[in-house]
Amino acid sequence: MQTQDRYFLTGGQGFIGAWIAKQLLLAGSSCVLFDLKPDDGILAQVFDEDELRQLERVYGDVGDTEVVRKALDASQATNVIHLAGLQIPTCRSQPLLGARVNVIGTLNIFEAVRQSGGRVKNVVYASSAAVAGSSGDYKGPIADDTPHVPRTHYGVFKTANEGSARVYWLDHGIPSVGLRPLAVYGVGREVGVTSGPTKAIKAALLRRPYTIGFSGQTAFNYVEDAARIFIDCSKAAREGAQALNMRGEYLTVEEFAKLVEREVPGSAGLIRVSGGPIPVAYDFVEPGLEKLLGRVPHTPVADGVHRTAQRFRRLLELGKLRDQDLAT
């Protein structure tokens, strides 16, 4: 009889997924990564070579209902962490593809869990702070249950997923937690509107000029904190369909750039900030997450920048620091 939790992690080769897989591996937890096709690009930045060989992976299209059902069934997983999705730029340029992956893909996950006969205990999935509108749409701090008017297809898709999760709880009793990070940074962040701060750290180490394409204040979440929160929510979620804010640490993009300059001597003047604020509010509070977990990890941004730079330095020494993302 299976007693230990076994995780089915979609988007496991991606940024947050790689760090979740890393923490699960180090904890000795069983995990199956599900992704579209083999790609070690991000995993090789997060895992050492011997760790990478230990990963259990299966491949398939999250938008294909039967493929998802069969993969989840074969995994014999007890917990699902669902991260597979396309970011704001792709959803803007290809909304039909964005909906297929982000909305239909999420429905496929919940449907496969429903058909698991109760083996899967819950679903923790990536929603996003992009469900919110811009800061001007709100007065005061933004609570978990504040009404939202998202300004991107991506945000609309994530809002739809939160609604679907609620209906799967009401109709089928599937517990879930949707988490709403904003600007997540750390090793492996290469795509998306808010990937610029991480790319700035890499560019500074390589002594290259780089412009972060948005400005103003936002909420920064360090990736190892985000990974821990997803795992802890999977352990804690027992009932309901919760959609919860992740507060992060508030500071301006300009202040983040100054922290990068402080961390990387000789990089002064290389990192610039351009463009307006992202169309997503940042003044979130997280009482639901605090109630569910008790303690929510919050690494100060200066510490997160240091840890990210340290890992990038190590990859640079090994000749494994990818720089293709700096061109985008």
At residue 327 the predicted structure's pLDDT band, cuts being 50, 70 and 90, is: confident
**Rounded-to-integer distance, Cα 290 and Cα 295, Å:** 6
Q: Determine, yes or no, domain membership for 286.
A: yes
* For residue 1, pLDDT beyond 50: no
- At residue 13, does pLDDT exceed 80? yes
Q: State the pLDDT at residue 2.
A: 47
Cα-based angle 200, 202, 205 (whole degrees, multiple of 5): 110
Q: What is the pLDDT of residues 191-233, one digit of tens each?
A: 988 999 999 999 999 999 999 999 999 999 999 999 999 999 9
Q: Is residue 328 part of a domain?
A: no
Per-residue model confidence as pLDDT tens digits over 139-164: 989 999 999 999 999 999 999 999 99
Whether 273 maps to a domain, the answer reads no
Does position 119 have pLDDT exceeding 50, yes or no?
A: yes
Number of domains in the chain: 1
Summarised one tens digit per residue, pLDDT across range 43-66 is: 999 999 999 999 999 999 999 999
Supply the mean pLDDT for the chain.
96
Query: Residue 114 sits in which domain range?
Result: 6-185+220-248+278-299
pLDDT in tens, 262-315: 999 999 999 999 999 998 999 999 999 999 999 999 999 999 999 999 999 999
CA 49 to chain centre: 23
For residue 149, is it within any domain? yes
Tokens of 160: 């739809």
Query: What residue has token string 């240091």?
Result: 306
Q: What percent of the chain has pLDDT over 90?
A: 95
In a domain, 89, yes or no: yes
What pTM did the predictor assign? 0.96
Residue 206 lies in a domain: no
Alpha helices in 47-186 (DSSP H): 49-52, 65-75, 88-93, 95-99, 105-114, 153-172
CATH number of the domain where residue 150 is located = 3.40.50.720
The answer to whether position 145 is within a domain reads yes
pLDDT in tens, 157-195: 999 999 999 999 999 999 999 999 999 999 999 998 899
Give the side-chain half-sphere CA count within 13 A for 20.
Answer: 32
